[in-house]
């Protein structure tokens, strides 16, 4: 349990600090992807490579649909948690986790499509390597998001106190929606530069 050794004031301060750290982390992630985007634009503008020179695989469309649906499912889990409907919360959390894993698998499938096309992480066209960098870093964050979701599910199974459950779900929904928006940004960016 989260609040065993805290007074109410210490618990409030601890939660504020955790939420602040989450926002700092997300700002850092956004800045990293913005820097990568800038690096890609500068690199391709230099004339060394003329862009990605390949179309994006259709599996990216499917993975985009899957991650959007996962955010909808997580919202339903969050709403169920607020209403103290643990059964629904657990169901929607499991579905969100499943959709997160499906997203991960689809991204790996996209890499396989690129490999079949002869586009590898290390190749003569560094612009194509950016695809792996963008998607690989996003997948690393998806793994972190799945860990957060599993932790929420464990909290719903135990169950932990209502306030602790709400706080975990609040952090999870902020982070997962951020990952969703980040993927949409990456996908649109890659679409515009293919």
Query: What DSSP assignment string belongs to 77-126?
Result: HHHHHHTT-HHHHHHHHHHHHHHHHHHHHHHHHHHHHHHHTT--SSSS-H
Q: What is the pLDDT of residues 139-173, one digit of tens each?
A: 999 999 999 999 999 999 988 899 899 999 999 99
Q: What is the pLDDT of residue 90?
A: 96
Q: What are the backbone dihedrals phi and psi of residue 187, each rounded to the nearest 5 degrees, phi first?
A: -60, -45
The structural domains of the chain, with segments of one domain joined by +, span 8-47+54-192
Q: What is the CATH number of domain 8-47+54-192?
A: 1.20.120.80
Residue 108: predicted pLDDT: 95
Q: Which residues contact 190 (CB under 8 A, 6 or more apart)?
A: 52, 56, 60, 131, 134
The encoded tokens of residue 100 equal: 């997160």
Determine the Cα–Cα distance for residues 185 and 64; give it in Å rounded to an integer.
11
pLDDT value for 53:
75
Is 194's pLDDT higher than 90?
no
pLDDT value at 2 more than 90? no
pLDDT tens-digit readout, 82-115: 999 999 999 999 999 999 999 999 999 999 999 9
pLDDT at 18 over 70: yes
Residue 71 has pLDDT above 90, yes or no: yes
For residue 2, what is the enclosing H or E element? none
Secondary structure (3-state) at 188: helix
The mean pLDDT of 8-36, rounded to a whole number, is 92
pTM over 0.85: yes
């Amino acid at each position: 349990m989260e609040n065993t050794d805290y007074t109410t004031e210490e618990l409030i301060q601890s939660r504020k600090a955790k939420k602040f750290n989450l926002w700092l982390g997300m700002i850092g992630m956004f800045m990293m992807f913005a820097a990568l985007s800038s690096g890609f634009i500068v690199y391709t503008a230099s004339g060394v490579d003329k862009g990605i020179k390949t179309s994006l695989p259709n599996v990216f469309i499917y993975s985009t649909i899957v991650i959007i649906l996962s955010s909808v499912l997580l919202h339903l889990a969050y709403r169920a948690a607020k209403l103290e409907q643990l059964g629904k919360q657990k169901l929607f959390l499991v579905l969100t986790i499943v959709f997160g894993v499906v997203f991960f698998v689809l991204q790996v499938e996209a890499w396989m499509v690129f490999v079949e096309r002869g586009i590898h992480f290390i190749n003569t066209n560094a612009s194509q390597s950016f695809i792996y960098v963008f998607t690989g870093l996003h997948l690393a964050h998806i793994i972190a998001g799945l860990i957060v979701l599993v932790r929420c599910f464990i909290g719903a199974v135990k169950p932990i106190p209502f306030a602790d459950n709400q706080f975990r779900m609040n952090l999870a929904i902020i982070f997962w929606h951020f990952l969703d928006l980040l993927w949409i940004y990456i996908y649109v960016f890659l679409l515009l530069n293919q």
